[in-house]
Structure 1
Amino acid sequence: MKTNFKKFALGAVVMGASTLLLAGCGNSSKNESAAKDDSSAKVSGNIKLWIDTEQKDTFTKIVKDFEKEYPDVKVDVKVGQSADAKKDVSKDPEKAADVFMLPHDQVGQMAEAGLLYKNTKYADEVKKNNIPSAVEGATWKGDLYAYPYGVETQVLYYNKSVLSEEDVKSWTGITTKGKMGTNFAEEGANYIFAPLFMSNGDVLFGKSGEDLKGTDFNNEKGIQVLDWIAKQKSNPGVVQSSATAIAKLTSGETSAFLSGPWSKNDVKKALGDNMGVAAYPTVDFGNGEVPMKAFLGVKLIGVNQQTKHPLAAMALANYITGEKAQLTLFENHGIIPSNKADQEVQEVQDDAVAKAVLAMSDDEHSVVMPKLPEMVSFWPAMDALINDTYKGNIKADQYQAKLDKFVADISKENK
């Protein structure tokens, strides 16, 4: 399972909201009370951990260290978990792993479905040690439900033989001096360009990302964003590319590319020593340059609500997302740590992709992807809006009506 939030976002289009039918699964209050009341009790039990196949060796070593610290806990490390934790756990929660990986945009759905055990013991520690955006990604309705171990945003890759550091500071600079290869016309444009609305001052599901009626894209700022998207069709510095993005970068047809840490090796292979990495450029919607925002994803570890050993499961989740573990995951797999101390380590600071992601992970440059279950309706509607606007299928005098319908459609509660 190669986990990146672009894949989760696209997958959400075809996922139903069926997990919500599991709401009330298990006895949440009983288990949470037990964990709180027995917090000084002996941490013991046999528990199961589901992890990414590619990270088996790393987590196996981390777990061995955990078992030395907690000798009464035995962990069975299992691999092969799919990219959809919600689906995997909901099949049979009692047989699912006690501890597992999940993307943060599933927190709301899994919490509402009674699949996640609240972080009742280590919440203060997690909040203290991780950056605010990562804590936000692990939180649902004010409660911490998971344990962050990494952050992920898209960044700008560029060809240093064509574009300078000054050129890549703005969209205009990139598309005047070089060519931006990106996707406005196909599936997946939603993940890249939906944050443009937030760049221009709008909000998606409110400032908290949890307000179903809180989207305000259907205003003058939203119209400006659609107008900007439409103009990119005639921008000679913009080349439509999706699956061919790396090929066009390799051939020199394009000189810049928006993607995430998962593309680092491919871009390095394409550009070699000419690979440059930077935070997103600024864009101008008509009111001056503003930072172009990206969605921020948070990599999480969750605890199964049905675990028979909550103290052991929480201890494991906290340990494998701690400072030492996060640095190991960065060194072995390039996962950008959410831990504040790890972000200051020279090794992390010296990594070009990590440095760009860290620059993108503040409120000025990114927005934490909302966790509302209704995001399942957002993705296809946003793709259609961007694709049709770029292709010219939506005319300027239709922008307001299209935005009104878009906001109305995504504000309907999933039944």
Structure 2
Amino acid sequence: MAQDPENSADVYLFANDQIGKLKDANAIAELGGNTLEQIKADNSEVVVDSVTQDGAVYGVPFTTNTWFMYYNKSMVSEDEIKSLDDIIAKNKITFPVSNSWYLPAFYYADGGTMFGDNGQDAAAGIQFDKPAATEYLVALKNNSNFADDADGKGYAAFSEKETAVFFSGSWDYQTLKDALGDDLGAAQLPTAKIGGEDKQLYSFAGSKAIGVNPNCENQAAAVAFAAYLGGEEAQKAHWEDRMIIPTNTTLLEDEVFAKDMLVKAQNDTVDNTAKIQPTLTEMGNYWKIGENFGKAIIAGDVTEANAKDKTAEFQKQLNTLTEE
């Protein structure tokens, strides 16, 4: 779409973090009128925010996208899953520290921001100068009950009942259910004792949506089709055919969804323990820097002694790249 919008599809599915790139390429249309009213009526505020940039809405959401916590009910209690420290005190766990999609959880928890409070202020940059969060990750890495989740290690260990929790998303649900059966649980993110205080971890949240190409000849038909594909009937079919979790608030009130563990875990996470992933093009500069810093923690290059200095270097790299 972004490479050749004039010769691309009139209507397409996209992940919300691509909005900035699509806007820059004139490959996505702003939505208004009855379609905008439908989007706002059918979705929660956080879901609408996920497809909003500079006050304009650019897609019809059809599912949320985030990661949360799976847990083994035979290993941890309903109270213990509320705290990462309580979990690791008695059980082995993994967490993808070396994955930059997961790493911000600890910096968000300690008050960090990415492009301002709403993720849309490019000039604000990424503010992750939070040494206490780095110190927590160093201590986590040094805990004998911890292992970095890389190259599928976390999934394998959790499936084989060697670890108590696994951090992932809805895409892993069915195979985990097959492995653990009734012992499989799912919940929003726990807290972590950062700087001596219990602080809420936050995952990235976003959505997948239907976009309209502003270059298409039949705009009205394209917008109507997009609205249908993101509407209640189509979302219900997505769930029945492929277990794609809906965003439509009317559907979510139905008993089928209200009592479903997976749907509840994902929606609780989006509503309570997640930050909207920034859609600005400047966000693209973060991923490699974040990955390298996470890997440095796991490699032992970041220590308790140098955590403050290393965090400052990390912050400087982020600011330098996001300003260029």
Same fold (TM over 0.5): yes
Asked whether the 8 Å contact 2:68–2:189 carries over to 1, the reply is: yes
> What is the aligned partner in structure 2 of residue 210 from structure 1?
120
Mapped pair 1:111 → 2:23? yes
Would you say the 8 A contact 1:129–1:341 is kept in 2? Answer: yes
The 3-state SS of whatever aligns with 1:264 is: helix
Q: Given the alignment of the two structures, is residue 172 of structure 1 paired with residue 101 of structure 2, yes or no?
A: no
> What letter is aligned with 1:403?
F
* Correspondence 1:254 to 2:159: no
Is it true that 1:224 corresponds to 2:127 in the alignment?
Answer: no
How far apart, in 2, do the equivalents of 1:176 and 1:371 lie?
Answer: 37
Partner of 2:38: 125
Aligned-pair distance for 1:227?
0.8
**What is the distance in 2 between the residues matched to 1:313 and 1:130?**
21
Q: Which residue of 2 aligns with 1:9?
A: none
In structure 2, distance between residues paired with 1:271 and 1:244? 17
Who is 1:101 aligned against?
13
Higher relative contact order, chain-length normalized (CA < 8 Å, sep 6+): 2
Matches within 5 A, 1:333-344: 333-344=242-253
What does residue range 157-306 of structure 1 map to in structure 2 within 5 Å?
157-185=70-98, 189-215=99-125, 217-219=127-129, 222-242=130-150, 243-306=152-215
Equivalent residue number for residue 295 of structure 2: 387
- State the shift of 1:216 in Å: 5.2
Question: Do the aligned partners of residues 370 and 227 (structure 1) sit closer, same or farther apart at CA in structure 2, a change above 3 Å counting?
Answer: same
Which residue number in structure 2 is paired with residue 83 of structure 1?
A: none
1:216/1:112 Cα in 2 relative to 1: closer, same or farther (>3 Å)?
closer
TM-score scaled by length of structure 2? 0.93
Q: Which amino acid aligns with 1:409?
A: T
- Cα distance in 2 for partners of 1:306, 1:174 equals 52
| Alignment-derived partner of residue 366 in structure 1 | 274
Contact 1:224 1:285 in 2 (8 A): yes
Q: Structure 2 CA distance, aligned partners of 1:400 and 1:261? A: 32
After TM superposition, give the deviation of residue 193 of structure 1 in Å.
Answer: 1.9
Alpha-carbon distance between aligned partners in 1 of 2:159 and 2:290, rounded to the nearest angstrom: 30
Question: What is the Cα-based RMSD across aligned positions, in Å?
Answer: 1.6
- Structure 1 residue 383: Cα displacement: 0.9
Give the structure 2 partner of residue 323 of structure 1: 232
Is the Cα–Cα contact under 8 Å of residues 111 and 140 in structure 1 kept in the other structure? Answer: no
2: CA distance between counterparts of 1:410 and 1:338? 34
Contact kept? 2:5, 2:25, Cα under 8 Å: no
Relative to the length of structure 1, the TM-score reads 0.73
CA contact (8 A) 1:329 1:335 kept: yes
Deviates more, 1:312-321 or 1:131-140: 131-140
More divergent stretch after superposition (387-396 vs 189-198): 387-396
Native 8 Å contact 2:201 2:273 kept in 1: yes
What residue is the counterpart of 1:355 in the other structure?
264
> Structure 2: which 5+ runs fail to align?
none
Decide whether the 8 Å contact of 1:230 with 1:391 is kept in 2. Answer: no
CA distance in 1, matches of 2:7, 2:215: 9
Q: Radius of gyration: which is bigger?
A: 1
Q: What is the CA-CA distance between 1:120 and the residue it aligns to? A: 2.7
Cα distance in 1 for residues equivalent to 2:254 and 2:144: 41
Q: Equivalents in 1 of 2:27, 2:307: separation in Å?
A: 45
The one-character-per-residue Cα deviations of 1:218-254 (angstroms, maximum 9, x if unpaired) are: 54xx111111111111112212232122221233321
Separation of aligned partners in 1, 2:122 and 2:7: 33
Q: Is the 8 A contact 2:14 2:208 kept in 1?
A: yes
Instruction: Classify 1:397/1:210 alpha carbon distance in 2 versus 1 (closer, same or farther; 3 Å).
Output: closer
**Structure 1 range deviating more: 100-109 or 263-272:** 263-272
Taking only the aligned residue pairs, the percentage that are identical comes to 28
| Residue identity in the other structure for 2:290 | M
- Answer yes or no: is the 8 Å Cα contact 1:245–1:257 preserved in 2: yes
SS at match of 1:158: strand
- Structure 2 counterpart of 1:387, one-letter code: K
Distance 1:386 1:321 in 2: 36
**1:111 positional shift:** 1.1
Instruction: Give, in angstroms, the shift of residue 287 of structure 1.
Output: 4.3
CA contact (8 A) 2:3 2:25 kept: no
State the 1:126 CA deviation.
0.9
Which residue is equivalent to 1:8? none
Distance 1:112 1:256, change over 3 A: same
Structure 1 residue runs of 5 or longer lacking an equivalent are 1-88
How many residue pairs match? The answer is 319
Q: CA deviation at 1:94?
A: 2.6
**Is the 2:109–2:201 contact (alpha carbons within 8 Å) kept by the matching residues of 1?**
yes
- Determine the C-alpha separation between the residues in 1 that align with 2:215 and 2:265: 39
4+ runs deviating over 4 angstroms: none
